[in-house]
Amino acid sequence: MRRLAIDATPIVAALKGDAPALYANGGASFGAGIDARTKERLDAGVLAVELIVRGVIEGSFHEGLDGKSHVEAFPAPLELLEILLPSGSDLSAAKAAVRRSEIIADGTVRTKRWSNRPANEMPPLGIAEEARDRARAVGLRAHIIGVKELERMGAGMLLAVGRGSDNPPCMVVLSGGAPRSKDPLGRRLAMVGKGVCFDTGGISIKPADGMEEMKMDKNGAIAVIEAAATVAQLDPGRVIHAVAACVENMPSGHATRPGDVVTALNGKRVEITNTDAEGRLILGDALHFAERDLGATHLVDVATLTGIVNSTFGGEVAGSCGTDPSFLDETHLAARRAGEVYWPYPLADAYMKNMDSWAGDFQNSGSREAMLIRSGLFLREFTTVPWVHLDIAGTAYRRANAPWAGRGSTGAAHSTLVELAMGGGVRR
C-alpha cells in the first residue's frame, strides 16, 4: 500500500500567524496568514485539511495524449493519506472537510481534463453536449441556446465572433434551485464564462507561434460549468446559475471584419476594431443575458481575456475588477480560502475615451494605453448589478510539468467560484 503522511501543524501555524500579507481594497488577504476578521470564524485546522486534500488530488493529475497519464511525471497512485493535526483540533469538522475537499478537487480535475481537450474534439456544441450530461448527473437544469435563438434574442456580439467558423456558436445555461428564488445569502448568483474553443484571432489573426495553445481559451466556460456542478453536489437545490458563451474565432469569407458594427444584446452599438478582442464581445452578451433573463442579482465572469494580465501579474496571480467593493471583497476572500490569488485593478473612467467610436457607441479595442483597464471598462457596459471580472489568462495554463502539477490547464477559478457560491467569502 502506498501511503503519505502529512503533518498539518506548520500549515495551521502559518494560517493562524500574523506574518506580513498583501491586502486588497476592503481588507481581503493574500499571502501568509488569514485576514484577522476571518480568523474568528474559520478553523485553521479545517482549512489546512481542505487545502492538503485538494492539493494531493489536484496535484496528482498529469494528463497526456488520449487521456493517458505521463507515468514518469508522478509516482504510483496514492492509496492512503494521513493528515496529522495539532491537539485540540475539531476532528468531526476535519472529517467533513475531507469529503467537501474531495468534491471540490474532483471538479477542478474535471475542469483541467475538459479544458485540455483539443478544438477538433471540443467545438462549441461539444461543450454544450458535455454540459448537458454533467447537469443531468448532478441535478441541474440545462438549456442550450443555438444560433436561431441567439439571432432572435439579438445577441449580435456573440454571433459576430462565431460567424467565421463552420462550427456554430451557442450559449450554455445551467441552473440549480427553484426559478427566481435566491440562495441563503439572498443572492441570485450567475457565473459567466468565456468559451472560445479555438482562437485564431479571426481576421486580426494571431502569430502562428504558440497558436496551438489557443484551445485553452475555453477555460472560463469550463470553470463556470464545473463550478455549478460542484455546488450542486455540495448543496443540492442551492440557487446557482452558470452561463457559458461558446464560439470559435476563425478567419473566413464569412468572418467579421475590423470596422464592422454590431448591436449587442443590450442594444448598444459596438464597432469591432480588433477581431482578436473577441472575449469581451461574447461575455458582454452573456452578462446581459444572465442579468436580464435569469434575474441575476450578482454577476461574476471568468475569462482568459487579455495577454497583458500575464505580463502584469505573471502566472501565479490573476487580475480582478468590479463595480461593487463589497462583492469584490467577497470574491477575494473566497479565492483566499480556495488557495488562489486575485489582485484588483481600477476601473478608471478616464480610459473610456480610448474606446470612442464615431460609428457606434464605443469600440471593442482602442489604443494600447491601459489595455487591461479598458477590457474591464468594456464589460462594465453590460452590467447594472454588482459584478466582478476575473482575468485568468496568466494562471489558466501551465506550459511544463511542475513538481506539484502537470502541464496544461490548471483548473483556475473553479475553486474560487465554488467558495464564492457557497458563501466562503462572506464576512460574518
Element (DSSP H or E) covering residue 313: helix 308-313
Residue 295 near residue 188 (C-beta atoms within 8 A): yes
Among the listed residues 110, 188, 218, 280, the single catalytic one is 280
- The x, y and z cell numbers of residue 244, run together, are 457559458
Provide the 8-state DSSP code for 72. G
Provide the 8-state DSSP code for 205. P
68 in catalytic set: no
Sheet holding 269-272, edge to edge: 260-263, 269-272, 362-363
280 in catalytic set: yes
Nearest to 302 by CA among 244, 234, 348, 248: 244
Q: Alpha-carbon distance 130 to 172, whole Å?
A: 10
Among the listed residues 39, 113, 206, 269, the single catalytic one is 206
Nearest to 246 by CA among 210, 215, 282, 291: 282
Contacts by residues 308-317 (CB-CB < 8 Å, ≥ 24 positions apart) = 308/371, 308/372, 309/372, 309/391, 309/393, 309/394, 310/393, 310/394, 312/345, 312/372, 312/394, 313/343, 313/394, 314/394, 315/394, 315/395, 315/398, 316/341, 316/395, 317/341, 317/342, 317/343, 317/394, 317/395
Residue 254, classified by CB atoms within 10 Å of its CB into exposed (0-12), middle (13-18) or buried (19+), is: exposed
Please list the residues that pair with 192 across neighbouring strands. 243, 301
Provide the 8-state DSSP code for 204. S
Q: Alpha-carbon distance 53 to 57, whole Å?
A: 6
Residue 267 near residue 172 (C-beta atoms within 8 A): no
- The x, y and z cell numbers of residue 198, run together, are 479555438
Provide the 8-state DSSP code for 157. H
Catalytic residues: 206, 280
